[in-house]
Every structure is written in structure tokens, then in C-alpha cells.
Amino acid sequence: MAPGRTSLLLTQFIILIILEITNGFTQKFQEVLRGKYDLKDAMRQQLGGKFQIGINDPHSDTGEYPPRIVEVKPFYMDIYPVTVAQFLSYKIKKPKYKTTANNAGYSFVFSNVVPPNIKTKWASEAADSWWLAVRGAQWDRPEGPGTNITDRLDYPVVHVSYMDAKAYCMWAGKRLPTEEEWEYAARGQLKGVQYPWGDKFQRGRMNYFQGRFPNNDKGTDGWIGLSPVNAFGAQNNHSGMFDMLGNVWEWTSTRYYVRVVDRKSQALKYVLKGGSYLDSRDGTFNHVVRTANRMGMVPHYTAHNVGFRCAASAPHLVQKMRRSDPRFKPPAETSTRRPPKLHKRRDDPRTKKYIKVEL
């Protein structure tokens, strides 16, 4: 056998061995992810119906005022925000997909969580002094080069844009929720209240900034910066949803408009819901964390406090609702056969008798 032919076969054999080892490792790694983090992929049925969205706060300028009645069809909603483990599984299946932050080469990170060596080498100041544009920051390097996700698999995935969130949901056979669906799931069966659990603020229910912003987060809730998606109990006992308020803002599929400006002249933005670990309970700085509050961002925006969760339509539940709702009465059954016609006798045109002719 020619030396060139031998070298080619040897190279192919080595490549096959490497691929086999890689595939075996990937399969075993995915089994670990499924075994430990499958719970975070659960969804909960939402029955839908009419409810009040927004809040009665005339001082708010985010669009949550005035409150109004809307209606949503039955749907399913992720119980938790999409975790790092889930997004890692997606990236294993779709290795060629590059996130917006990866293509841009940077993303925004809260300055207090960025290590000093990264600040000096990889970061530059943003419009707000507490944000840094960190080169290399993305979903698997949350604070920039040198940081990783090995101990954060149950944290919400961050540095994801609207397009990244939409791509993941489509891959998972789901979609992004609308703003109305998101707020319906957060409220459960409670009407017109500020928080998923009621109208009264309760400590230890969500991850928000506690202290003098931006340099003194006391972390009295147990966390400074991001937290696992199940760090706190279910925020609504009726809907059983976790981490709806605080920790990270979540993308929705609803367009964001400023009410007093002509919509045709406004840039493309989408609504984010839920607030984050950088927001406050009373609105003294940044945003007030409550169910109705909202924020609008351009679809390519990425940051250390932005994530998402998925929803799914439930057409079978819609049909069931229609059968049980008296407003949706099925039409009465009718025969497809045409009724018989009556014809005059042809043999005697003067007679007034008729005969029935079957078709």
C-alpha cells in the first residue's frame, strides 16, 4: 500500500476515534443534565380567560397604567426561567448557532460583579456608570473571559437577546409568551394585586437589590447578583410559578410602544417583564419590582440581568373551553342532501297537479 494511502487511512482512523470519544462524552454529559435538571424543564397549564392587566398607578410611565381587561386563551408556561443547563443542551445540539453577544463580541455586565482583572483588561464604560461593556461576555462566560458556568447550571441563562430566546423556544417546540400570558401566569388567580402572592410586600420571596445602589448590596435575601431559579419558593401558590419577579428580566413576544408617541415613528422594541436583581422594591432606583411593570428593549440587547422563559399554545384546551362555554354552541346538524323539487306534469300543462321527483 502506498505511503500516502496509509497516512490518509491512519488520519481517518484517528478522527473516527476522536469523534467516538466526543460523542460518548456528549451523550453521557447530556444524561447528567437530564437527570439533574429535568425538573427545570417543566411547564404548567394556564386555563386562560379574562383578567385585569396593569396597575392603577398614574405616576408610572412604563405603560403599565392604566389597568385594563384583556383575555388570553389557554396555554402552557415554563415553571422556571430557562436555565444555563437547558441552554447548554441546546448549544450541544446546535453547535453552529452563535448568540447575539457572541457575534457582537461583548455584552453588558453590572460593574460590581466583574472581577478586577477583567475590568482593567476587557471592560469599557457604558452610558450608565454601573454598567460595563465587557468584551467576551456571553451566556457561558457571564462576567467575561475567565469566568464560567460550571457551578451555575441551575441559574437563569443570561446575555441572551430576543432572537436568541426565540430561537431556543422554537428548537424546544415552544414559543415566547406574550406580555398578557406572562402576567396571567404570574398573577395566578389573584386579581389586581402588586405581587404574585398578593398586595403586601414579603421579604424572602424574590431576588432584588437591597441597600444603597449601586455600590452597597447587603444581600439580606441571601444573594448578591444572580441566584438559582429555585432559590426562592413558588411566588404564586395558585399557578406554582417560580422566579417570575426579580433575578432577571424576561423577554416576551409583545411589541413595546411609548403611549404618547406615534407608533410608526418608534424603533422596534419588545416588552420585558419581571424586574431583576438590580431593581428595587419601591422604585427609589431603577425599576420597581412588581407584576405589572415592564421595560422595552431593542431585540439585539443583551445583559447580565436579561433571560427568558417559554410558553406553548394549548389548542386542545381551547376546544374543551369552547364545548363547555354556552357562547360557543355548535351549529345544528343539517343534511347535505338537497330537498326534493316539485315539477308540473309535462303531458298536461293545463293541470295544476304536481308530482314529487326524487333526486
Query: What tens-digit pLDDT sequence spans the chain (359 residues)?
Result: 455 555 655 555 555 455 454 454 445 455 555 556 665 678 999 999 999 999 888 888 888 999 999 999 999 999 999 999 999 999 999 999 999 999 999 999 999 999 999 998 998 888 788 999 999 999 999 999 999 999 999 999 999 999 999 999 999 999 999 999 999 999 987 888 999 999 999 999 999 999 999 989 999 989 999 999 999 999 987 888 999 999 999 999 999 998 888 888 999 999 999 999 999 999 999 999 999 999 999 999 999 999 999 999 998 766 665 556 565 555 555 555 555 555 555 555 555 554 454 54
Global pTM reads 0.80
Domain limits, the chain: 24-98+154-324
Contact 144, 133 (CB under 8 A): no
The pLDDT, as a whole number, for residue 359 is: 44
| pLDDT for the residue numbered 21 | 46
- Strand ranges (DSSP E) for the chain? 43-46, 49-53, 68-72, 75-78, 106-110, 123-125, 131-135, 211-212, 216-217, 249-255, 270-273, 294-297, 306-307, 311-313, 341-344, 354-357
We find that the CATH architecture of domain 24-98+154-324 is Alpha-Beta Complex (3.90)
pLDDT of residue 323: 59
- pLDDT at residue 31, rounded to an integer: 57
170: phi > 0 → left, psi -120 to 50 → alpha, else beta; which?
alpha
pLDDT at 262: 87
DSSP 75: E
> How confident is the model at residue 22, as a pLDDT?
45
